[in-house]
Structure 1
Amino acid sequence: MGYLVTDEPARRRFEILVDDALAGFTTYEPRGEVLVFTHTEVDPRFQDQGVGSALIRATLDQIRDRGGRIVVHCPFVAAFVDRHPEYRPLTTTP
């Protein structure tokens, strides 16, 4: 299963494509250099296959690579960061 994660600023979300099909997304509100993550959704056809985790990992890697920071209001993103402490330095308070 090949996937691609891209930032779609006009939609205020990162999307994950699995074999060219939209499999999920995580939405954000930009606040200057900080992105406030509010919601994550995975298409039911792709649930329980690690797509959500792949989406968040690639999203956070892209944000880290560009020197960004995040505020987490989405429970899925919060749980991911709790399980992967290497991403905690990206978080900040609103």
Structure 2
Amino acid sequence: MEPQVIDRPEKSRYEILAEPDAETGTETGTETGTEPGTETGAETAGFAEYHLSEGEIAFLHTEIDPRFGGRGLGGLLARGALDDGRARGLRVLPYCPFIRGWIGKHPEYTELVPEARRARFGL
């Protein structure tokens, strides 16, 4: 299974689901000979916590489980959460240093942050 970003509004967070590999800590598939997606062992590999209010989504904290580190899941989580915010017409307030840094490296997402507040976030 490919990593998947889902919104969990009841928890006020986006989660990224991925399959761990017990021996290597990488996605099931290439090293074991199993096709990704044929196992149902997807786990929550990380999350981006948010607060939603009046057309704005404030990202507060992002975390990836160390067992899933080094696989680029943080970037996939950020992109998925921001793409969903864009699709919903939400203004983004990146209080979380990870989300803020990710937007800084991907300027095509800067427009999601209200122009009057970009300087506050260093964008």
Give your verdict on TM over 0.5.
yes
Q: Provide the rounded CA distance (Å) in 1 between the counterparts of 2:85 and 2:52.
A: 12
Secondary structure of the residue aligned to 2:89 is coil
Unaligned runs of 5+ in 2: 20-41
How high is the sequence identity, in percent, across the aligned residues? 40
- Give the structure with higher Rg (CA): 2
Give the count of matched residue pairs.
94
Calculate the aligned-residue CA RMSD, in Å.
1.4
Q: TM-score, normalised by structure 2?
A: 0.72
Unaligned runs of 5+ in 1: none
Q: Which has the higher strand share?
A: 1
- Deviation string, structure 1 residues 17-69 (Cα, Å, up to 9, x no partner): 01311000000111211011110000001111100000001111111112111
1:1-94 map, 5 Å: 2-19=2-19, 20-92=42-114, 93=117
Secondary structure of the residue aligned to 2:10 is coil
Runs (4 or more) in structure 1 with deviation over 2 Å come to: none
Residue type at the aligned position of 1:46: F
- Cα deviation for residue 4 of structure 1 reads 1.0
